[in-house]
């Protein structure tokens, strides 16, 4: 397993924009070098208000990922960490253009 962080990003209290140009190239290289055995699974991020509910931007981002032919994953995962008094997380998978909840802790 590997976690790669974008080299360029914009971070604000209520938003995060990643510039993933190099990440797409990096993921393609790993996919080819592993003979298609290592694949991109999805994204994760935090919500500092403690909510694990996805936003409309989260859904849009996951649809863009699923529709990108270079990524080769039509059902990407999304994990949201809700950080408040305690830490919770929620796992989603994109299916039929909807984020489906499949695990919560």
Tens of pLDDT, residue by residue over 51-81, are 899 999 899 999 999 998 877 789 999 999 9
Give the model's confidence band at 25: pLDDT under 50 very low, under 70 low, under 90 confident, else very high.
confident
Top pLDDT among 21 and 76 is at 76
The CA-to-CA distance between both ends of the chain, in Å, stands at: 21
Contact 9, 17 (CB under 8 A): yes
- The answer to whether the beta carbons of residues 53 and 81 sit under 8 Å apart is no
In the chain, the largest separation of any two C-alpha atoms, in whole Å, equals: 44
CA distance 79 to 93: 9
Closest CA to 43 of 18, 21, 22: 18
Q: Is 28 left (phi over 0), alpha (psi -120 to 50) or beta?
A: alpha
pTM exceeds 0.85 for this model: no
């Amino acid at each position: 397993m590997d976690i790669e962080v974008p080299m360029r990003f914009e971070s604000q209290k209520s938003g995060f924009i990643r510039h993933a140009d190099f990440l797409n190239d990096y993921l393609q290289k790993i996919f080819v070098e592993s003979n298609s055995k290592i694949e991109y699974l999805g994204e994760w991020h935090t919500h500092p208000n403690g909510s694990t509910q996805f936003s409309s931007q989260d859904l849009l981002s996951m649809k863009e990922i699923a529709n990108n032919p270079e990524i080769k994953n039509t059902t990407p995962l999304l994990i949201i960490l809700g950080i408040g008094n305690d830490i919770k997380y929620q796992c989603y998978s994109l299916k039929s253009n909807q984020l489906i909840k499949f695990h919560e802790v």
